[in-house]
């Protein structure tokens, strides 16, 4: 199995300078270098490949146009990740009336979930499918908190909800994920066959 080359080793300052100068070959090389990481992020937030690809392309365009203004000393990979996550959230907020169908109650009962420990217990592909099945708001909050490491205060500001609502969504998502993964586990567990008794010879 080929080893994944870290983005930081593939994206050099020379490549970045080429993109700033609008060199198409440099832009394509940067797109190829970032694609696995950025598509992985977008696929976690979006329900289907088409939406994930659209969000990735919008985020990559923001990366290209923002290269010259990138803060000095900012780690490139973390900077690019943040731009794409913000692009995902911006798109969600714009399309929220169409995509969000759940009723939100401000400040519901809260209990901080220990989500990261749970993530270690499940297979990555099973988890990806289970996350995609979550309600949109719970999916976004869970991704931001449990996977991308955003604090509840920042999530609340990004999604225009309270911190209590953010914490509730993490717990709600964790409950739904455990249920979905348990059901998939039962579906893939083979039913034991009963041994047939040999016929008696008369």
pLDDT band at 193 (very low <50, low <70, confident <90, very high): low
User: Domain of 13: which CATH number?
Assistant: 1.10.1740.10
Dump pLDDT digits (tens) for 151-168. Answer: 999 999 999 999 999 999
Whether 122 and 90 share a structural domain = no
DSSP string, 4-22: PPPHHHH--HHHHHHHHTT
Q: Is 131 helix (H, G, I), strand (E, B) or coil?
A: helix
Is 195's pLDDT higher than 70?
A: no
**Locus of tokens 């996350």:** 131
Q: Render the burial of 97-109: b for 16+ CB within 10 Å, e for the rest.
A: eeeeeeeeeeeee
Domain total for the chain?
A: 2
pLDDT of residue 56: 95
Look at residues 72, 99, 126 and tell me which one is the last residue of a structural domain: 99
Q: Is residue 1, in this structure, part of any structural domain at all?
A: no
Q: Which of 53, 68, 99 is the last residue of a domain?
A: 99
Residue 55 predicted with pLDDT over 60: yes
Alpha carbons 80 and 100: distance in angstroms, whole number? 27
Examine residue 110 and state whether it is found in any structural domain, yes or no.
Answer: no
Q: What are phi and psi of 120, to 5 degrees?
A: -70, -15
Are 90 and 135 contained in the same domain? no
Q: Where a domain ends, among 38, 68, 99?
A: 99
**How far is the C-alpha of 197 from the C-alpha of 78, rounded, in Å?**
64
Identify the band that residue 197 occupies on the pLDDT scale cut at 50, 70 and 90: low
**Residue 14 tokens, joined:** 């020379």
CATH number at residue 120: 1.10.10.10
Within-domain flag for 164: yes
Residues 89 and 173 in one domain: no
pLDDT grade, residue 10 (50/70/90)? Answer: confident
pLDDT digits (tens, 9 = 90+) for 11-48: 899 999 999 999 999 999 999 999 999 999 999 998 88
Claim to verify: residue 95 and residue 120 sit in the same structural domain: no
Q: Distances from the Cα of 189 to the Cαs of 31, 121, 179, 196, in angstroms?
A: 41, 17, 15, 21
Residue 198 lies inside a defined structural domain of this protein: no
Residue 131 main-chain phi, psi, to 5 deg: -65, -40
User: Which residue segment(s) compose the domain that 77 sits in?
Assistant: 7-99
* 79 in the same domain as 129: no
Q: How far is CA 186 from CA 102, 128, 182, 191, 193, in A?
A: 28, 18, 6, 9, 16
């Amino acid at each position: 199995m080929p080893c994944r080359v870290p983005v930081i080793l593939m994206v050099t300052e020379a490549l970045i300078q080429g993109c700033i100068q609008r060199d198409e070959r440099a832009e394509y090389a940067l797109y190829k270098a970032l694609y696995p990481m950025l598509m992985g992020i977008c696929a976690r937030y979006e329900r289907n490949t088409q939406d994930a690809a659209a969000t990735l392309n919008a985020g990559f365009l923001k990366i290209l146009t923002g290269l010259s203004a990138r803060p000095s000393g900012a780690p490139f990979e973390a900077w690019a990740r943040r731009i794409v996550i913000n692009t995902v959230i911006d798109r969600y907020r714009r399309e929220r009336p169409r995509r969000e169908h759940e009723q939100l109650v401000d400040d519901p009962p809260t209990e901080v979930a220990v989500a990261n420990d749970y993530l270690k217990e499940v297979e990555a592909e099973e988890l990806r499918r289970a996350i995609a099945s979550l309600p949109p708001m719970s999916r976004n909050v869970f991704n931001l908190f449990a996977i991308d490491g955003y604090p509840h205060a920042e999530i609340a500001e990004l999604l225009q909800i309270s911190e209590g609502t953010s914490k509730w969504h993490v717990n709600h998502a964790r409950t739904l994920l455990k249920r979905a993964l348990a059901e998939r586990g039962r579906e893939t567990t083979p039913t034991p066959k009963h041994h047939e008794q040999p016929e008696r010879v008369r």
